[in-house]
């Protein structure tokens, strides 16, 4: 057990270091946070200008409904592009550098490598979420906060980022080139999001196809509804993606 922890921590540390020194992670963080800050300012301006009309409806939507959750919604949209770019080279980059055998030769099992790399990516993604959350939280003392709604939406976003991150790591394990991994992760993320689009257009709500769609599980959380089913869906996706990645990496070691 202690070997498992040490191995995973060593791989996480290595991947985290590689993420921090690569310009891509910094450029993505700077561009997306700037974009979100600009949108936050626009939404805040709109919220402030409609304050008098909303004063007449005491139970109407508040700051979190009109600014906080839409901001997180924009982060979710950006995640479809950012997560594949962040995860694309975690394993396929190692394969191209020829450094993967170094990890195997240090006695690190495949699943420790996958888990270690996933945790590093997850750390970066959660930091990105935290930076975005800091914008509405900066107004903590100036307006009323619906903590329940913000908490549920944050949980939803964290689960979504964790799931997309796991899918990205899996794609990177299967792809021979980082660009292929990014493309595959983008396609999978979009497919997971919109798998029920056809069914909804045909007026079918519910059923397996709707259960499969990520949007069916994220939307309730963004509305403030936390249900075990939605959380389990995300956890299953994470476990499945990491298990596939570990299996593939172990097969790589066998194949040589």
Partner 1 sequence: MLRLDQLSRRRAGRPAVQNLSLTLPRGQVLGLLGVNGAGKSTTLSMIAGALRPDSGSIQLNGMDFLEQPELARELIGWLPERAPLWPELTVSEHLDAHGHLRGLRGAVLKQARAAIIERLELQPLARRLAGVLSQGQRQRLGLACALLHKPALLVLDEPANALDPVQVAALRSLIREQAAAGTAVILSTHLLTEVTAVCDRVAILHDGTLRHDGPVHSGDHAALERSFFEIAMNSHTQPAHAA
Among 1, 56, 105, 208, binds partner 1 (CB under 8 A): 105
Nearer to partner 1, 8 or 154 (CB): 8
d(CA 75, CA 149): 16
Radius of gyration of the chain (CA): 20
CA 41 to chain centroid: 24
Instruction: Please give the size of the binding site for partner 1, defined by CB under 8 A.
Output: 27
10 touches partner 1 by CB under 8 A: yes
176 touches partner 1 by CB under 8 A: no
21 touches partner 1 by CB under 8 A: yes
98 touches partner 1 by CB under 8 A: yes
Among 109, 136, 165, 178, binds partner 1 (CB under 8 A): 109
30 touches partner 1 by CB under 8 A: no
Question: CB under 8 A: which stretch of 29-37, 39-47, 60-68, 102-110 binds partner 1?
Answer: 102-110
119 touches partner 1 by CB under 8 A: no
d(CA 194, CA 200): 10
Contact 173, 91 (CB under 8 A): yes
Question: CB under 8 A: which stretch of 107-115, 201-209, 224-232, 239-247 binds partner 1?
Answer: 107-115
Among 27, 42, 102, 179, binds partner 1 (CB under 8 A): 102
Question: In this structure, which long-range contacts are made by residues 233-242, counting pairs with CB atoms below 8 Å and at least 24 apart in sequence?
Answer: 234/159, 234/160, 234/162, 234/163, 235/159, 237/163, 237/166, 237/167, 237/192, 238/162, 238/163, 238/166, 241/163, 241/166, 241/167, 241/169, 241/170, 242/111, 242/114, 242/115, 242/118, 242/166, 242/169, 242/170
Is residue 226 within a helix (H) or strand (E), and if so which, with residue range? none
- Least separation in angstroms between CB 140 and partner 1: 38
Site string for partner 1, 126-155 (x = CB under 8 A): ------------------------------
Query: Tokens in use for 186?
Result: 């983008």
Among 49, 55, 201, 254, binds partner 1 (CB under 8 A): 254
d(CA 42, CA 247): 46
251 touches partner 1 by CB under 8 A: no
d(CA 21, CA 9): 18
Nearer to partner 1, 95 or 217 (CB): 95
The DSSP call for residue 66 is: I
Residue 116 phi/psi, 5-degree rounding, is: -60, -45
Question: CB under 8 A: which stretch of 10-18, 196-204, 205-213, 228-236 binds partner 1?
Answer: 10-18
- Least separation in angstroms between CB 8 and partner 1: 11
Query: Where does this chain bind partner 1 (CB under 8 A)?
Result: 3, 6-7, 9-11, 13-14, 17-18, 21-22, 97-99, 101-109, 253-254, 256
């Amino acid at each position: 057990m202690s070997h498992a922890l040490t191995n995973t921590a060593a791989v996480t540390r290595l991947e985290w270091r590689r993420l921090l020194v690569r310009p891509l992670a910094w450029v993505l963080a700077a561009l997306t946070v700037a974009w979100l800050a600009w949108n936050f300012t626009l939404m805040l301006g709109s919220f402030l200008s409609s304050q008098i009309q909303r004063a007449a409806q005491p139970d109407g939507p508040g700051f979190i409904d009109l600014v906080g959750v839409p901001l997180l919604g924009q982060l979710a949209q950006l995640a479809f592009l950012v997560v594949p770019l962040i995860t694309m080279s975690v394993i396929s980059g190692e394969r191209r550098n020829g450094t993967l055998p170094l990890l195997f030769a240090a006695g690190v099992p495949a699943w420790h490598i996958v888990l270690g790399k996933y945790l590093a990516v997850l750390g970066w993604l959660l930091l990105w979420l935290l930076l975005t959350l800091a914008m509405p939280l900066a107004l903590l003392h100036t307006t009323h906060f619906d903590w329940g709604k913000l908490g549920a939406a944050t949980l939803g976003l964290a689960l979504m980022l964790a799931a997309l991150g796991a899918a990205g790591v899996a794609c990177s394990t299967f792809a021979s080139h980082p660009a292929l991994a990014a493309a595959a992760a983008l396609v999978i993320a979009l497919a997971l999001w919109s798998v029920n689009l056809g069914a909804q257009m045909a007026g079918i709500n519910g059923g397996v196809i709707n259960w499969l769609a990520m949007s069916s599980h994220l939307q309730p959380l963004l509305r403030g509804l936390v249900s075990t089913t939605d959380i389990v869906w995300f956890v299953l996706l994470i476990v499945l993606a990491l298990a596939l990645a570990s299996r593939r990496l172990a097969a790589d070691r066998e194949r040589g």
